[in-house]
Each structure stands twice: as C-alpha cells, then as structure tokens.
Chains A and B, each alone.
Chain A
C-alpha cells in the first residue's frame, strides 16, 4: 500500500513553528503592560539603592 503524501511537500521538510512566536508575543504584551502602568520606574528606584539586607549586610 502506498504511503499518503501531500503534493508539493517534501518528507521531513522543516516547518515553521508558530507557537514560540505567539508565546513571545504574550510576554511582549506583559512587558508593554508593565511599561504602561509605570513599573520600570519602580524597578529603577529599587535598583538605584543598595539593598543591604539583600546582600546579607545589616
């Protein structure tokens, strides 16, 4: 019995996977949401200060 094959498609031909792209779009949306509500400012405020307890001092 002959194996069915789609015309024009080579066996084992690489196929573009779209799910990683959708996932990246999801996280891009999260990132943009964070930027919109001003989270980067809060991150920068924290990063500008030496967090002594974080590094085990104090």
Chain B
C-alpha cells in the first residue's frame, strides 16, 4: 500500500505540475486547466503548474472583494470554497497524505539519514491560526488605499511558493533578480527552515503551518473516506503509535485531525484487524483483511 501511495503522490505531483514547455516559453502555463483548484498546496505561479492553488485563489478573491462588489460582482470565494470543501468532505486529510506535492517533498526530505525528532503536540494548533489570520482575516481586512487586500500567506510565509515559483522564476527570468529584496530573503529563510526541519521531523509544515491542511483537518470527523477503529478488536498494544508519520495515537484518538490516512497503522502495525478504511460508515477493507486474518489463523 505504501508503494501505491508513493505512486499516487508522484502521479498527482505530475498532474499538478505537468507543463513541461516552461524552459522554452520561460513563462507559466496559461491554459484552461488553471481554472481547476489543485487538491494540494501547489503554487500557481510555478512555471510547471497546470492548476490553481486554492489557498492563493481564496486570498486573492477575499482581498479583491471590495473591488468586486463595487463593480457589481459577488465574488466571495464560493467556487474555491466549494472546491476545497468538496475535496475535504470526500477525502479529508487523505489528500495531504496522497496528493499534496509539498507534503511528498517533505516526506522525501525526511528520508535523508539524520537524527529524528518529534514535533511538540501543541504546535499543531498554529496552522488553524495561520488559516484564520493570514488566509482569511488579513486579506479581507488589511487593505490598501484602493481597497485591495494582499495575499498575506503567499506573500509572507508560503515555502511552497518560494520553492516552486520564486526560485524557478528567478532562474528563468534573470531580470527579476534585480527586484530581490528583504521579502524574498525572509521567505527564503522560512523555506530553508522548514526544509531542514523536514529532514529531522516528519512533515513539519503540514503539521504546524499549512492552512490547507488546517482546512481539511476540519473534516476529520465527517469526511466520506476515513479510518475507523474497532474498539472491540483493539488491544491497546500501541503498535499504531510507532508507525504514524504524523504522531497520531490512533487507538486513543481515532478521529485525530492530524491523520492523513497514509494507512501505515492499518497495513504495517495493527495485527488485530482493528483499523479499517470506511466509506460513509461502510467498511472498505474489512473483507480482505478478515480473509487474511483467517488465512493466518488456519496456517497457525
């Protein structure tokens, strides 16, 4: 299953960044696919990006809400919120584990041999503050003399934007290098810090600062696809704690908002068939695992 997940991550990353003509055009993709909101965090100013970043689009729509209303357009971000909510409602944070290019990049960084450290549990709440403050409130309320708000998260924080768009565009368009200033360097420091952190801890950006992850986390108890714990079968052996890349103690909090449904606990840890994948409350994996368990029992 882990092999399948890696392949899904590669394919998803390629689908969201499949414009390979950029070295020749030296510009970003400007085709019709850009109307589609990417499921994961993927900067739409990346030269290879084929889709829009939902967080970037939402900030732009909220920042331009006064201008839109003044011109009789009711652009409140319905389309982007609808896209994000539909994906979140269906998959929840499974998207983070299976389809987010930046999450995949952090997983690759974490494979670099080094000492590994846990991330303090309390830091997980920071990403909700980032979502509320930098994606919603500041773009909406902190406006310039024309009534336009800035995309605060993209402008001041987003390490995916620096990595996927800032650096490649500087390489493709040398004239941009003259415009570099404190803003770029501060974002470069943030990106570097998260990259170094990702080597020693698993997915730090997803767990601490990702506003899209925070939005999807709101669906952890109600998404269509989710993991379920069978309390009757669970022996509290805590084997699921050891394999979880997000630090979730699944047997203690099966609806944990940090769970990215990578299925490591179900496939690599639980020997008691206590964890199943369910679709609207109906088990998706029970039959196969039951068969495997029966086969193991009869072999014993």
Contact = CB atoms under 8 A, between A and B. Distances in A.
Given A30-B82, A48-B34, A55-B162, A20 B222 contact: yes
Contacts of A39: 61, 75, 77-80
Chain A interface secondary structure, helix, strand, loop or mixed?
helix
What's the interface size class on B, roughly?
Answer: 35 or more
Contacts, number: 167
Contact of A56 (B35, B79, B81, B155): B155
Nearest to B43: A55
Contact of B166 (A24, A28, A46, A55): A55
Given A38-B73, A56-B184, A20 B224 contact: yes
- Which secondary structure dominates chain B's binding surface? helix
B174 to A, nearest CB: 12
Interface residues of A, number: 41
Nearest to A39: B79
Contacts of A32: 82
A45 to B, nearest CB: 9
Nearest to A46: B60
Query: Which 5 A-B residue pairs are closest in the complex by CB-CB distance?
Result: A34-B79, A31-B82, A27-B85, A34-B78, A30-B82
Interface of B: 27-28, 30, 32, 34-35, 37, 43-45, 51-53, 56-57, 60-61, 64, 68, 73-75, 77-86, 88-90, 150-151, 154-155, 158, 161-162, 165-166, 169-170, 176, 179-180, 183-184, 186-188, 219, 222-224, 232, 278, 280-283
